[in-house]
Amino acid sequence: MQAQSLLGSARALDRRLDDLLSATVLAGDPAAWDDAAVVRTTLTDVAEQLRAGAPFPTGGDPAPRDEAFVGLLAALDERDRPTPERVAAALDGGERALDRLRETGRVEVAGSRVVVPLGRDPAGSNWWALLEYLRDSVADLAGKASRVRGRVVVDGADAALVAAWDSVVERLDALETVLDETTANGRYAERSVAAGDGPEQFVAWAADQFRSQQ
């Protein structure tokens, strides 16, 4: 599994929400219906991707925050075609920073692609940094979705459309909570997340809830 799949889902949601927020009126816009459905489906897919990535690495103290790696995730998140050259240009330290991440095994370069592997890292450095990055991204998405929902209400949309966006906001809030709880507790093998369950069970619960509400 690679980080790009999760980052790409978050980026796609962000663009849809930005497009809706830039619209003049949402109540009569078919995109408001279509995008609500797409966002719900995408969030279900994100939860399923997280479930597929389990079990998450656990045990030991979390690694210190690596700003270069966080910058790499941001570069991948913000670019449709993140070539090594474009990614390096976005990093503090440029090519030297990218080379250091390659030398430590946190990133791979395959031709014109920059790959962040998630399955070959026993300490979980890439996983936890990605989950923390996604946690912050989802918090931003939840804020934007709430603004869309507010616009739908102000524009006088019917109750069904308001309910659809209520569902979107609820799912984003739930996913933010899942990521917050998972990143807060998941690195420690001896600590539980909720009701005696570990992070994998909490993620699985969210995926099941999202799937049942499709």
pLDDT digit string, tens, across residues 59-104: 444 455 678 888 899 988 887 777 889 888 888 889 999 999 998 8
pTM over 0.85: no
- Dist. CA 204–CA 130, nearest whole Å: 18
Give residues with Cβ within 8 angstroms of 108, minimum separation 6: 102, 114, 115, 116, 117
State the alpha helices, DSSP H only, in 81-198: 84-90, 94-103, 125-154, 159-185
Yes or no: say if 161 and 20 are a contact pair by the CB < 8 Å rule: no
108: helix, strand or coil: strand
196-206 pLDDT, tens per residue? 455 556 566 56
